[in-house]
Amino acid sequence: MPGYYIGLMSGTSMDGIDAAVVSFDDHRVKLHATVNQQYPEALREELGKAANTPTDVPIADLGHLDAKVGEAFRDAALNALQASGVDAGEITAIGSHGQTVRHQPDAIAPYSLQIGNPETIASGTGILTVADFRSADIAAGGQGAPLVPPFHDWLFGGTGQQRAILNIGGIANVTLLGSSSEPVTGFDTGPGNTLLDRWIQLRCNKAFDCDGAWAAEGRVNDSLLGKLLDYSYFGKTPPKSTGIEEFNLAWLTARDALEHDAVDVQATLCELTARTIANDILRFAPATDEVYVCGGGAHNADLLARLARRLPEIRIDSTAAVGLDPDWVEAAAFAWLAMRTINNQTGNLPSVTGANRKVVLGTIHSP
């Protein structure tokens, strides 16, 4: 697998773009440069409106956002390229996840919409760009998510251990890796950081709860937690995926969050994330020996402590312990998926998404 690739990722937290210049060899990833590029505040607000209140966003505004996000992704790729010292001509392809603004895999006409015009990226960088990774899986009857488990299996699997790779972004998802004879499974457990971020933004005007410090000051409100856990998504069996159109401030306030002390709500939301993750691991992979965490939640000490209390017999560590910095797993994954696409190799796992077959993911855009 010679050559360099660039992976571009922005998750449901919508805080910015992760860009990584990587190369792959013998089930290993080498990071040559990484850049986290924040969205301008005005653009982030527009994206939040498009995701949370889509009926209020005219098609013209959505087209404008597609162009602006494409420019932001292009700039992130160029900045990562400059940081790497690698010439653009040496980059085989860019894998751009784009920015999800709507994920509706269970609709009558299922779809998942990521914006960030890939033609802008390809043209602006001069590098072949792969994008729209989710549509092919949905067309094959799948959820179109999560898409990272095949990469987790390639990088972290094959050990003989009952291992879970846990990504805690805006939404939390888990990949369950067992023996070579068992199919890889994975799914979204529910909210990761999204409710925590939205609540502290509302009540404290902070972007996020650093280290989970505010949540650690509060007490879990059992009444509120019961209302949150009673939601139907948490009882679903895989394949299942979700997004911020389902778990958002409106969802939270509809369950009377505003009636409780703000800091206790934060503690309760942190407990919700930890408990729903732990419940799903124990429900669907009770023999799990170890959990390796990536994504922004890997830095939330309070969340990890709550998770450890729920999984006392399981080792919990960062993916750094098994070969890749937790902040760059998803960006590397979409670089890897781009490599699969341009080599006409399948990129989904039906055992994860529920698709009726393996398919080649993504659309290719030449510069």
End-to-end CA distance of the chain: 22
Class of CATH domain 4-145+328-365: alpha beta
DSSP structure string for 142-153: S------HHHHH
Same fold, 4-145+328-365 and 149-322: yes
pTM: 0.96
Going residue by residue through the chain, which has 367 residues, state the pLDDT in tens, using 9 for 90 and above: 569 999 999 988 888 999 999 999 989 999 999 999 999 999 999 998 888 888 888 999 999 999 999 999 999 999 999 999 999 999 999 999 999 999 999 999 999 999 999 999 999 999 999 999 999 999 999 999 999 999 999 999 988 889 999 999 999 999 999 877 789 999 999 999 999 999 999 999 999 999 999 999 999 999 999 999 999 999 999 999 999 989 999 999 999 999 999 999 999 999 999 999 999 999 999 999 999 999 999 999 999 999 999 999 999 999 999 999 999 999 999 999 999 999 999 999 999 999 999 999 999 999 9
Tracing tokens 């992130």 back to the chain, one arrives at 76
Phi/psi of residue 174, nearest 5 degrees? -130, 140
Spans of all domains in the chain: 4-145+328-365, 149-322
Percent of residues in the chain assigned helix, strand, coil, to nearest 5? 45, 20, 35
Give how far Cα 105 sits from Cα of 70, 145, 249, 329, 347, Å: 24, 9, 21, 24, 18
Q: What is the pLDDT of residue 51?
A: 86
Spatial separation of the C-alpha atoms in residues 126 and 148, rounded to whole Å: 26
- DSSP β-bridge partners for residue 100: 114
Spatial separation of the C-alpha atoms in residues 150 and 294, rounded to whole Å: 15
Spatial separation of the C-alpha atoms in residues 54 and 111, rounded to whole Å: 14
Phi/psi of residue 188, nearest 5 degrees? -80, 130
Residue closest to 96 by CA, chosen among 133, 44, 151? 133
222-229 and 262-284 helices cross at what angle (nearest 10)? 50
Q: What is the pLDDT of residue 15?
A: 83
DSSP structure string for 154-210: HHH--SSS-EEEEEESSEEEEEEE--TTSPPEEEEEEESSHHHHHHHHHHH--SS-G
Spatial separation of the C-alpha atoms in residues 198 and 184, rounded to whole Å: 32
Q: What is the pLDDT of residue 2?
A: 64
CATH, domain range 149-322 = 3.30.420.40
Q: What is the pLDDT of residue 65?
A: 96
